[in-house]
Structure 1
Amino acid sequence: MDISLCGDCRDFLQSNHHDGYYGDESWRRFKDSQDCERLISRVIQTADMGCSVCETVVCKFRSLKSDLLAVAQRNGESATFRLQIEEYYNTNLQWQEDIDRPFLRVSISQEEIKFRLWRVSKSHEADCGVNDDDRSTGSESSFLRAEEWLRKCMHNHDNCNTVGALGDWAPSRLLDIGPARNPFPTTIKLRQTDSWQRSVHYTTLSHCWGSVQPFRLLRSNLRERMDGISVDALPKTFQDAIYATRRFGIQYLWIDSLCIIQDSKEDWNAESSLMAQVYSGCVLNLAAASSNDCTGGLFQSRPPSYLGSRFISVESIPDGFKSYYQIWDQSVWPAGFEFAKLNTRAWVMQERLLSPRTLGFAKAQLFWECRCNRSSEEFPFGYPSELFERRQRDFPQPGIQDKLKTHSLSHHADSRFEHDHTRRLSLVWHNLVMHYSRKEMAYEQDKLPAISGLASLFAQQLGTAYLAGLWRSTLLSDLLWRANPGDSAMNRPLEYRAPSWSWASVNCPVKYLPGWIVSPEVTVIEAEAQPGVERSQFGRVSDGCIRLSGKLIHNMTVAPYHGHSYALQARGSEGHPIAAECTPDQPLRPADTQPEIFCLPVGSYIDISRAYGGDTLAPAAQFSWKTT
């Protein structure tokens, strides 16, 4: 085990000072930047000499393209350097199992990084991390690790093994790369599967199209693609996906741009409606997380000094007991995979959630997700759940269809509704919509199609009509979304995409209140959405209408409140003041600040306290009301 520490780090880690600083008091703030520079030079020197802590700090800043000395020089006389332990209760790297793990906080003035300290056995290092001579994510050792993940998952994870559950179904088209016993192919063929009477094992590819037009299937080249495709003519990401599929002993591969006729609306509509089956039926989804387009490839080179885990031993004072710790950069999963360009794409969100297993090819290491486990080359036996930020723990793992059956998809499914199947699923849907609304898409009209696979699975469980992103049985709660643009532009698409009461009608993130309507104030008279494509109830819509019966609050005045929010005020029927806050789902025009604004209370809901939720209405050509 690599346990090398410089004298300063050893003294610091053995100290009993809560939130202690690296070195003596004079290192907390410097008289001038040269003092800070001298200290940083010393840290760089001890890192080169093998100190695990100093090496971790230096490598991390380098990975962020930040030079330690340059950071200090930019801050001039205000430069500071801190290496700080923060933890609860205990002060010398000891803790109880039921409290948060301590972490090292390293900061140079305003630039900061944090590392978790994870207590491990002395032999743990041999099974973790990336070897210094392992310079590619496509190396032999990386594939051996991935093959082990796949093998264990297929043999030991009952919840993950639904391959074949779709009976004899197969995607309409698959790329045939040849039997596993054959040499690596120079030519592959597109196969039509309509005459197949069997299910097959296949992989799928999640990739960014980017600004580079990928190799595509068109009506004009369908026959040519079926006769054969030269592997050398394919972009690098596709070539790497073929290689990976062959390494896993699988004969077939599904790639959207080569298995859907891209210039045929009829074929695109038909195939996009099958996304739930395509991805949930694959053996493995290959995620090109390190590439912004199809030319980037799956496999990336990584420097010998790649920041994997470092290990240290600390001898406590005064008993001399020696403990071993893994220093873990808690930003590795979000920065390396969760927030990779690929995972900002709307289509990819459902691809990732529908697939029983996803292997992420990131810039510096491989990441694994299945219904039972999250792992990486740094944590090959699974990430401890407490190392995840709350937002990552709450976001559901892949294999959503299986979790829907067990009603355990997300922590956001409030325990108060544990035995209410519909309410739990509705809260989970709201959570998915909030995540999804932050994703990017190249074509505005894909807003509903890109989540249609997930919607089809929810429909099986809810057993109710789907209304352009909302559900008939939970319509009142579903209506209470609000625009949450933040720094994003708040607008609607130029071309009609969804009725204005649907979250799919806006081009910005949305937010749902974390509660549930318990006292409805309105009655649903009618609710429908017309599919834009025949037999595609979860895709695009051409029209939508809802009719509600309730009490309108007339003559609301509106004034800017804070950010994108506005304050609404009116007088109730008995003269009592009524005040509310709203976030318009499109920019207000000057005319909208006049009293011709209405408020429709939908109902009171359960949250931390009892409150009212409702919709703010402005007259429009398609909006009408009558007073009773």
Structure 2
Amino acid sequence: MGSFVCLHSARNLCDLCGVYKHVVEAVVDGHLPSLFQGARNATERDQVLNEVVVGSIGIITANTEESMNLFMKGSRIRVSLLVDPEEQSDFRVWINGYEKIGFLKETRFGPSTDSDRSFSRAQQWLRQCLENHDCGESRGSFQPCRLLNLHGNRVRLIETTEASDFQGPYVCLSHRWGDANTSRLISTTDNIHNHMKGIEWSNIPKTFQDAIVICRRLGVDYLWIDTLCILQEFPGMSDEKKRVASTDFAAENSVMARISQSSYFTIYGSVSTSMASSIFSPKLYGSHQIKNLANAEEWWAGILRQYTMRRLAKEEDKLPALSGLAQLYHQLTRDTYLAGLWKASFPHCLCWYNTAQAGTYTMKLGIGRRSRTPRVHSWSWASLDIVNDAQCRFWWPRESLSTNPIIYEDGATSRPVCTVQEAICQLKTDDLFGEVVGGSIDLGVLPVSAKIGTKSQGDESFSTVGDVAWTLDYVEDGTDVHICLADCSLDDDDLQMGDEVYCAPIMEAISESGSDRGRLVLKCVLGGSEFRRRGFCVLRKKNPSWDRANSPLPMVRPLGHIYPDLTTPEYAEKVQSYALLYNPSAERRIRII
């Protein structure tokens, strides 16, 4: 399953995605009126496209048909792509689908991506991009510290500051490193001088060979590959060599965004799970992705959803690998970066949790594992290594319902119910967006005592399925546990059933039906002076006088409907029986590490 945005981004990389894109646009523009009459204006068109879900269901009959499922406006349409296989070296695809669609689009497919026609098409795309787009304006004169020189028949590593004959442009390769058992070609303090003399073709992995061939066919003499152009650590290296490699990595990682943005283009390995280069490189993903301050927070939340699903070769690279994207965000917002979170997004960005899948009333918990060598404070999502198929999400109303399983009631308005007094991070290197070795956040909160157990207190609307670790079976103020999401298993977080924890309120969502409070579940450490995060929960207090059947508010929010802000003073009396009695002067200052 995917979105129209994914199809649009991939349209030039995948001919089939381009065909699917045309089909979706045809339907949205009203060519199948039995399903949809067509958007009335550009705003509605964008809204409908954002809601579309596309799913390819594979080849139906070998070489003759492929189908797509299109979900929109509560309906499903199946569109067939009929293939004419008569010309084996150059076949064509026609969009057939429904006869009433009134839309016919022909697309040519070359026999393979290494054909002369494929490279000719790539050259054409590059020319069109350079002549018509502004994505090349970011290249400038920046050059990475090292590059692979592909000129002639040799492949050798060069240092650009010392190469008198160096003349760009260069290309980046985004690739997957593989697991710890994968054989890798890397540059180290021991072999870098040999790599500068030349690298034997037989020693170069197939993915790297393919990238070199692409560069040469497109007339580019220089290639940047992270494993070869940045010094890597290796087993048994001395402390001094490790220091040299670590310093080199920190320096290059701090300019990762510039490396990719300044490249001629990026080669994106089809099996790569690295998304950083594809987002950095304007020619691959689009330079417009984060130019609007209004959607910056959603952009970052979307990045983290995708990023936390990836499996890193080294988990300690979790923040360094994200450094380049953080640089992009900072360039736009000028916000302060705090170990994967942004100061301007406090306090609601503290309401993160991990979940693997969501349904109407169930969700699969995303169990994490604390690093055995703590590298990040517990209040950041980066403190956990997720061990199942989970994503990091945030509990705040600006995330759309399709991406936020813990949904506010219709008409709910949110407010912070804590005070962020101080947040600090201790950096490991000079990279402001790289590794951290410590940090803390001081909050003014109104915590309540609770105990962990196996059955939630009250009427829990949401239930978790799968690897459930624990929940809250007692909360001191008597509120119902709407949902409790443990960060880790009991053993991993040094917890036992019956242990006392504290629920610190961060955000509250008030609706006509009740109050939902997003709270951090904290464990007291160091004699009571400091706390560590152990989970996230939503506690609910219902409006005792509310009756859905007689509610003046509609069951479903109509397009353009504006609900009243129940957090304002004029509604204080109406909500006082169930809203949190938030008094900043009564807050207790706590420190979370």
With normalisation by structure 1, the TM-score equals: 0.59
For residues 140-159 of structure 1, the C-alpha deviation after alignment (integer angstroms, 9 at most, x for no partner) is: 1221222222222222223x
Q: Could you list the per-position Cα deviations for residues 180-210 of structure 1 after superposition, in whole angstroms to 9, with x for gaps in the alignment? A: xxxxx32133221225799831111122232
Q: How do residues 88-107 of structure 1 correspond to structure 2 at under 5 angstroms?
A: 102-103=78-79
Give 2:307's match in structure 1, choosing from 436, 441, 446.
436
* In structure 1, C-alpha distance between the alignment counterparts of 2:354 and 2:69, rounded to whole Å: 40
Check the 8 A contact 1:570/1:578 in 2, yes or no.
no
Contact 1:434 1:512 in 2 (8 A): no
How many angstroms apart in 2 are the aligned matches of 1:233 and 1:424? 45
Is contact 1:522–1:550 with CA below 8 Å preserved after alignment?
A: yes
Shift of 1:481: 0.4
8 Å Cα contact 1:163/1:283 also seen in 2: no
* Residue matched to 1:522: 418
> Do structure 1's residue 494 and structure 2's residue 467 form an aligned pair?
no
What is the DSSP-based 3-state SS (H/G/I as helix, E as strand, rest coil) of the residue aligned with 1:161? helix
Give 1:385-396 correspondences, 5 Å limit.
none
**Preserved CA contact (<8 Å) 1:170 1:193:** yes
User: What's the offset of the Cα at 1:436?
Assistant: 0.8
User: What SS does the aligned partner of 1:554 have?
Assistant: strand
2-structure distance, mates of 1:511, 1:150: 37
Candidates 92, 100, 115, aligned match of 1:139:
115
Separation in structure 1 between the aligned mates of residue 64 and residue 454 of structure 2, nearest angstrom = 46
Q: Quote the offset at 1:464 in angstroms.
A: 2.6
The alignment partner of 2:312 has SS state of coil
Corresponding residue number in structure 2 for 1:355: 281
**Given the alignment of the two structures, is residue 597 of structure 1 paired with residue 501 of structure 2, yes or no?**
yes
Letter in 1 for 2:108: C
Q: Is residue 335 of structure 2 the alignment partner of residue 464 of structure 1?
A: yes
User: 2:393 maps to what in 1?
Assistant: 511
Whole-angstrom CA distance in 2 between matches of 1:623 and 1:208: 44
Change in Cα spacing, 1:622 to 1:201, as seen in structure 2 (3 Å) is: farther
The residue correspondences of 1:258-277 to structure 2 (distance < 5 A) are 258-263=228-233, 264-277=245-258
On the 8 A contact 1:207/1:287 being kept in 2, the answer is: yes
**More deviation, 604-613/349-358:** 604-613
Q: 1:606 to 1:528 in 2, by over 3 A?
A: farther
Find the counterpart in structure 2 of residue 252 from structure 1. Answer: 222
Cα 1:562–1:186 shift into 2, 3 Å: same
Q: 1:85 to 1:62 in 2, by over 3 A?
A: closer
How much has 1:525 moved relative to structure 2? 1.4
Instruction: Give deviations 1:257-304, integer Å, cap 9, x for gaps.
Output: 221122312212211222111111111111221xxxxxxxxxxxxxxx
**Matched residue type, 2:109:** G
Instruction: Give the C-alpha shift of residue 520 in structure 1.
Output: 1.4
Deviations 1:311-335 (A, max 9, x none): xxxxxxxxxxxxxxxxxxxxxxxxx
User: Contact 2:469–2:490 (CA<8 Å) still a contact in 1?
Assistant: no
Alpha-carbon distance change, 607 to 527 in structure 1, aligned in 2, over 3 angstroms: farther
Shift of 1:621: 3.5
Secondary structure in 1 aligned to 2:489? coil
Question: What TM-score comes out, normalization by structure 2 length?
Answer: 0.62
Pair 1:432–1:608, CA change in 2 (3 A): farther
Q: Give the corresponding residue for 1:154.
A: 130
2:204 maps to amino acid: L
Q: Residues 120 and 229 (structure 1 numbering): CA distance in 2 closer, same or farther, change over 3 Å?
A: farther
- Distance between the aligned counterparts of 1:557 and 1:603, measured in 2? 21
Query: Which residue does the alignment assign to 1:616?
Result: 521
Paired amino acid for 1:248:
L
Cα deviation for residue 601 of structure 1 reads: 0.7
Within the candidate set 209, 234, 245, 2:204 is matched to 234
Aligned to 2:145: 172
Q: Secondary structure at the match of 1:353?
A: helix
The amino acid of 1:472's aligned partner reads: K
- CA shift in 2, pair 1:445/1:161, >3 Å: same
Aligned pair 1:562/2:464, yes or no? yes
Higher RCO by CA contacts (8 Å cutoff, separation 6 or greater): 1
Which structure has more strand as a fraction of its residues?
Answer: 2
C-alpha deviation, 1:177, in angstroms: 1.6
Q: Say whether the 8 Å CA contact 1:468–1:541 is kept in structure 2.
A: yes
User: Which residue of structure 1 aligns with residue 540 of structure 2?
Assistant: none
Distance 2:378 2:81 in 1: 47
Give the count of matched residue pairs. 413
Residues 352 and 393 in structure 2, CA contact (< 8 A), matched pair in contact too: yes
Q: From 458, 477, 492, give the equivalent of 2:348.
A: 477
With 540-549 and 266-275 compared, the bigger mean Cα shift is at 266-275
CA distance in 1, matches of 2:369, 2:185: 33
The whole-number CA distance in structure 2 between the counterparts of 1:85 and 1:466 is 41
Kept in 1, the 8 Å contact 2:397–2:414? The answer is no
Q: Distance in 2 between matches of 1:238 and 1:85?
A: 36
The residue identity in structure 1 corresponding to 2:394 is Y
1:605/1:349 CA distance change after superposition, 3 Å = farther
Q: CA deviation at 1:543?
A: 0.4
1:187 to 145, 154, 173: 154
1:129 aligns with 2:129: no
Distance 1:476 1:212, change over 3 A: same
Of the three residues 146, 168, 172, the one matched with 1:200 is 168
- 1:434 partner SS: helix
* Inter-partner Cα distance in structure 2 for 1:448 and 1:86: 37
Partner Cα distance (1:477, 1:268) in 2: 33
Q: Counterpart amino acid of 1:524?
A: V
C-alpha separation in 1, matches of 2:117 and 2:313:
36
